[in-house]
Amino acid sequence: MKRFLCLLLALSALSAAAQRNTIAISDLPHLPSDTLPTDRPNVQIILYTDNTFRYLFTNADSLSRTELYASHWDTTGIFAYRDISLQSLPPTIEIHVIDRYDGFHFPRTGQIVSRYGLRGRRNHNGIDIALRTGDPIHAAFDGRVRYSRYNMGGFGNLVIIRHTNGLESYYGHLSRRNVKAGDFVKAGQVIGYGGSTGRSRGPHLHFELRYADQAFDPERLIDFTSGQLRYQTFLLERSFFNIRSRAVEGLEEEDDSFDIEALMAANEIPEDGTLSEEIIRAIEEKELKAKEAEAAAKAAKYHTIRSGDTLLGLALKYGTTVDKICKLNGISRNTTLRIGRKLRIQ
């Protein structure tokens, strides 16, 4: 009888699963109600009390992680996936950023001094967070240190961690590294201390997130002001790997021809600090843009999902489009709207 009940539960769970293609971990209740075998030896189904289910890869630690940390494992180079081209990546990659076993911790919160994007004619593949030398830097997710060295290419003391969620995170300009290649780390572990080593004009953390060597804007996933993770299941679009594809809307069209940091880096701003009219105007413009972006962030509107809500219904209600809502929240049209979840509307 118990078996029969299990089967019924599994069937209803499967039909529920057919209606959606992503499972947000936050949506899952914390207590599994039962487990079921499958025809694959290392895979079990965990059933939850609300009839949702999830595959459990038994021995996942020893199987998938061995693979994850064995192939493309390079402890001397900053890139490890040179044979995988950008074009060969799928258009959308579903990243289970955290799950019941693996957590998140912000690497460092603080003032953002430079965002992902073009910096003059150079790419800035990460985000710069201001800090004081010696401030602790935390591993963002669970994983294994792939690289911990002094990098001559400009990163200074650099730690790269490969995470169980498939992403790699880069932590540059550290004053001290606390870990060595091969070390397993937990989210939140102090992997080093902030500094200004390498090509750096002052103490800050240079932080990157990459998938198969391809960088995307870390602000898509992490709010560096509050220290919050934005998504637990994240749909990583191949288009995000474009340096012009930024998380903050409105910044994509930014004219970088007067990027102050680029000018400073190129020593086009003299040591004595005298600024030309042109540069003063550029600074003022930059400050104005920052104020506008702040105002836009304050104007953000949220909706808490109630029973019966649909993406189309919300789009009509708030005079927006399904595409815009999906983009703001990093979800797809097929994502199940769980009651109680907060969606950003504008």
Q: How far is the CB of 281 from Zn ion (least distance, A)?
A: 25
Q: How far is the CB of 206 from Zn ion (least distance, A)?
A: 3
Overall residue count recorded for the chain in this entry: 346
Nearer to Zn ion by Cβ, of 27 and 128: the residue is: 128
Nearer to Zn ion by Cβ, of 156 and 330: the residue is: 156
Nearer to Zn ion by Cβ, of 24 and 158: the residue is: 158
Which residue's Cβ has the minimum distance to Zn ion? 206
Please say whether the beta carbons of 281 and 307 come within 8 A: no
Q: Rule CB under 5 A: is residue 128 a binding residue for Zn ion?
A: yes
Nearer to Zn ion by Cβ, of 202 and 340: the residue is: 202
Q: How far is the CB of 287 from Zn ion (least distance, A)?
A: 20
- Please give the Cα distance from 97 to 232 (Å, whole number): 5
- Please give the Cα distance from 329 to 345 (Å, whole number): 9
Please say whether the beta carbons of 243 and 250 come within 8 A: no
Nearer to Zn ion by Cβ, of 138 and 206: the residue is: 206
Q: x/- string (CB under 5 A) for Zn ion, residues 36-55?
A: --------------------
Q: How far is the CB of 195 from Zn ion (least distance, A)?
A: 13
Nearer to Zn ion by Cβ, of 142 and 259: the residue is: 259
Query: How far is the CA of 244 from the CAs of 75, 209, 331, in angstroms?
Result: 29, 15, 20
Please say whether the beta carbons of 170 and 207 come within 8 A: yes
Query: How far is the CA of 59 from the CAs of 41, 55, 69, 86, 144, in angstroms?
Result: 10, 12, 15, 31, 18
- Please give the Cα distance from 343 to 299 (Å, whole number): 14
DSSP character at residue 289? H
Task: Single out the segment in contact with Zn ion by CB under 5 A; choices: 11-19, 128-136, 283-291, 305-313.
Answer: 128-136
**Cβ-based neighbours of 12, under 8 Å, separated by 6 or more:** 51
Nearer to Zn ion by Cβ, of 170 and 234: the residue is: 170
- Please give the Cα distance from 112 to 92 (Å, whole number): 28
According to CB under 5 A, which residues from 200 to 239 bind Zn ion? 206
DSSP character at residue 100? S
**Cβ-based neighbours of 185, under 8 Å, separated by 6 or more:** 139, 142, 143, 144, 145, 161, 179, 191
Task: Single out the segment in contact with Zn ion by CB under 5 A; choices: 54-62, 124-132, 138-146, 161-169.
Answer: 124-132
Q: How far is the CB of 172 from Zn ion (least distance, A)?
A: 7
Q: How far is the CB of 288 from Zn ion (least distance, A)?
A: 23
Task: Single out the segment in contact with Zn ion by CB under 5 A; choices: 125-133, 154-162, 185-193, 269-277.
Answer: 125-133
Give the binding site for Zn ion (CB under 5 A): 128, 206
